[in-house]
């Protein structure tokens, strides 16, 4: 629901006799949850994960979120120097023969430090994928009706003098691996811009616009100087926070985000076009469009932004494509009809459904009905069936559709 590759903790399985051991990697220190069932004895041990960044010593507890009393959902960040490895904690079922199931661990890449990795396997985490209310909601949808949140007051802001992005197609590429990105760009002219959830391009040396992002407070220490350097080089766009409505991403209250947007983004309003914070597609209260509405209220006309930034994750096929396009219309309306950028989207269906989704969506976004969508970027240039690459050098079926190679 963003930028950014991760290394997950490895944990050892425990035997039914009660012996247990845990192994930790340098970026995460889990306390695993094991449930033993044998005759009438049940032992439950809760676990928690701790986020540790590169070059930092581990702490005994997660750092508190800067904007609320809630503890931020665990998000494991790492440089893209080694592939993601996931070893699931076993879950033991009823005796006599315990069975194990894999616990899916999703990791969404944050800004990274360099670009030496040749292959990555990151996938999104903590993403609220909630379909609009239906008469008979599916089991994966929130059971109680949830309203559509649309801003009730215009998000006024002072006009900026920055021009709209220069030509090319609308399609962009979100990347963590520079060499993989270059392999894709070598095969197509359909991609006209790139970003990596960070504020530096990590050695990218191709002639294509790169747009920096102020991901969130965790990566703010060099933002002002790097954003200034990007503007000096002629960048036309700066992205504000990455999913501040998601506890696993930037995790900011609307009020705090409004104050920090004015501090970190407003100074560049006369140099580049600025986005509003990128929101998730969640229909939950205080997330998605409801969070954006509260952000505009907190800004009180003082936040400089030229367009809204939206993310979306949901089902594939025609149904998923229709839900995605309706969400983008709602974002446009909530943004007082300002332009919209879609910097993350991904269907989560079968291979054939996802291809149907991709064809329908790119055709619609490039068509006249969605002329208010200035740019869009699929999630992401990485290896995997739902990503864009089948290997570090070749696009998969989705990648070939997205890159106009199919």
Can you give the pLDDT of all 406 residues of the chain as single tens digits?
443 333 233 233 333 233 333 333 323 333 334 333 344 444 444 444 444 444 444 444 333 334 433 333 333 333 333 333 333 333 333 333 333 323 233 345 555 544 333 333 333 334 343 333 333 333 333 333 323 333 333 344 444 434 455 456 999 999 999 999 999 999 999 999 999 999 999 999 989 999 999 999 999 999 999 999 999 999 999 999 999 999 999 999 999 999 999 999 999 999 999 999 999 999 999 999 999 999 999 999 999 999 999 999 999 999 999 999 999 999 999 999 999 999 999 999 999 999 999 999 999 999 999 999 999 999 999 999 999 999 999 999 999 999 999 8
Q: What is the DSSP letter of 290?
A: H
On whether residue 267 sits in a domain, the answer given is yes
Q: Are 43 and 20 in contact (CB under 8 A)?
A: no
On whether residue 59 sits in a domain, the answer given is no
Angle at 313 between CA 312 and CA 319, to 5 degrees: 100
Half-sphere exposure of 230 (CA within 13 A, CB side): 26
Q: State the pLDDT at residue 406.
A: 85
Retrieve residue 112's tokens. Answer: 């990274």
Retrieve residue 288's tokens. Answer: 């998605």
- In this structure, the chain runs to a length of 406
Q: State the pLDDT at residue 110.
A: 53
Q: Are 4 and 248 in contact (CB under 8 A)?
A: no
Q: Which residues of 327-355 are buried (b: 16+ CB within 10 A; e: fewer)?
A: bbebbbebbeebbbbbbbbbbbbeeebbb
Enumerate the β-bridge partners of residue 242.
Answer: 278
Give the separation between CA 19 and CA 249, rounded to whole angstroms.
Answer: 36
List of residues 6+ apart from 396 with CB closer than 8 A? 385, 387, 388, 389, 390
Enumerate the β-bridge partners of residue 71.
Answer: 64
Q: State the pLDDT at residue 157.
A: 43
Q: Are 15 and 36 in contact (CB under 8 A)?
A: no
On whether residue 194 sits in a domain, the answer given is yes
On whether residue 218 sits in a domain, the answer given is yes
Instruction: Give residue 37's region: left, alpha or beta (phi > 0; psi -120 to 50).
Output: beta
Q: Rounded to the nearest 10 degrees, how much is the dihedral formed by the CA atoms of 86, 87, 91, 97?
A: 140
Q: Are 30 and 22 in contact (CB under 8 A)?
A: yes
Give the separation between CA 389 and CA 399, rounded to whole angstroms.
Answer: 6
Give the separation between CA 199 and CA 231, rounded to whole angstroms.
Answer: 11
Total count of domains within the chain: 1
Instruction: Give residue 118's region: left, alpha or beta (phi > 0; psi -120 to 50).
Output: alpha
Q: By C-alpha distance, which of 196, 225, 221 is closest to 211?
A: 196
On whether residue 137 sits in a domain, the answer given is no
On whether residue 376 sits in a domain, the answer given is yes
pTM of the model as a whole: 0.66
Task: Reduce the DSSP state of residue 308 to 3 states and report it.
Answer: strand
Q: Are 207 and 186 in contact (CB under 8 A)?
A: no
Q: What range defines the domain where residue 380 resides?
A: 171-402
Q: Are 155 and 339 in contact (CB under 8 A)?
A: no
CATH of the domain at 317: 3.20.20.80
* Burial group, residue 109, by CB count within 10 angstroms (0-12, 13-18, 19+): buried
Largest separation between any pair of C-alpha atoms in the chain? 73
Number of other residues whose CB lies within 10 A of the CB of residue 94: 9
Give the separation between CA 282 and CA 311, rounded to whole angstroms.
Answer: 9
On whether residue 161 sits in a domain, the answer given is no
On whether residue 239 sits in a domain, the answer given is yes
Q: State the pLDDT at residue 13.
A: 33
């Amino acid at each position: 629901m963003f930028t950014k590759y991760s290394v997950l903790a490895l944990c050892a399985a425990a035997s039914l006799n009660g012996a247990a051991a845990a192994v930790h990697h340098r970026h995460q220190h889990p306390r695993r949850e094991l449930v033993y069932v044998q005759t009438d004895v049940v032992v439950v041990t809760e676990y928690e994960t701790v986020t540790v960044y590169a070059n930092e010593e581990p702490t005994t507890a997660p750092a508190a979120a800067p904007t609320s009393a809630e503890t931020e959902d665990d998000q494991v960040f790492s440089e893209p120097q080694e592939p993601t490895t996931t070893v699931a904690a076993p879950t033991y079922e009823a005796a006599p023969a315990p069975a194990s199931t894999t616990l899916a661990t999703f990791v969404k890449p944050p800004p990274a430090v360099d670009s030496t990795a040749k292959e990555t396997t990151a996938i999104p985490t903590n993403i609220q994928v909630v379909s609009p209310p239906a008469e008979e909601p599916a089991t994966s949808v929130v059971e109680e009706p949830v309203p559509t949140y649309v801003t009730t007051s215009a998000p006024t802001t002072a006009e900026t003098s920055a021009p709209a992005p220069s030509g090319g197609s609308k399609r962009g590429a979100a990347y963590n691996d520079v060499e993989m990105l270059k392999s894709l760009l070598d095969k197509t002219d359909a991609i006209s811009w790139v970003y990596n959830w960070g504020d530096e391009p990590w050695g990218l040396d191709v002639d294509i616009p790169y747009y920096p992002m102020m991901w969130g407070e965790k990566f703010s220490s060099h933002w002002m100087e790097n954003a200034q350097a990007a503007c000096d080089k002629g960048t036309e766009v700066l992205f504000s926070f990455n999913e501040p409505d998601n506890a696993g991403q930037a995790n900011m209250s609307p009020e705090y985000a409004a104050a920090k947007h004015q501090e970190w983004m407003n100074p560049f309003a006369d140099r580049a076009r600025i986005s509003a914070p990128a929101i998730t597609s969640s229909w939950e209260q205080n997330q998605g469009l409801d969070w954006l509405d509260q952000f505009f209220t907190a800004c009180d006309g003082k936040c400089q932004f030229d367009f809204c930034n939206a993310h979306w994750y949901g089902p594939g096929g025609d149904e998923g494509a229709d839900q995605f396009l309706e969400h983008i219309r709602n974002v446009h309306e909530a943004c007082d009809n300002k332009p919209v950028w879609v910097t993350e989207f991904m269907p989560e269906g079968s291979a054939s459904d996802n291809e149907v989704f991709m064809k329908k969506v790119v055709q619609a976004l490039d068509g006249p009905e969605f002329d208010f969508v200035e740019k869009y970027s699929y999630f992401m240039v990485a290896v995997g069936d739902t990503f864009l690459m089948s290997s570090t050098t070749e696009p998969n079926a989705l990648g070939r559709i997205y890159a106009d190679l199919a």
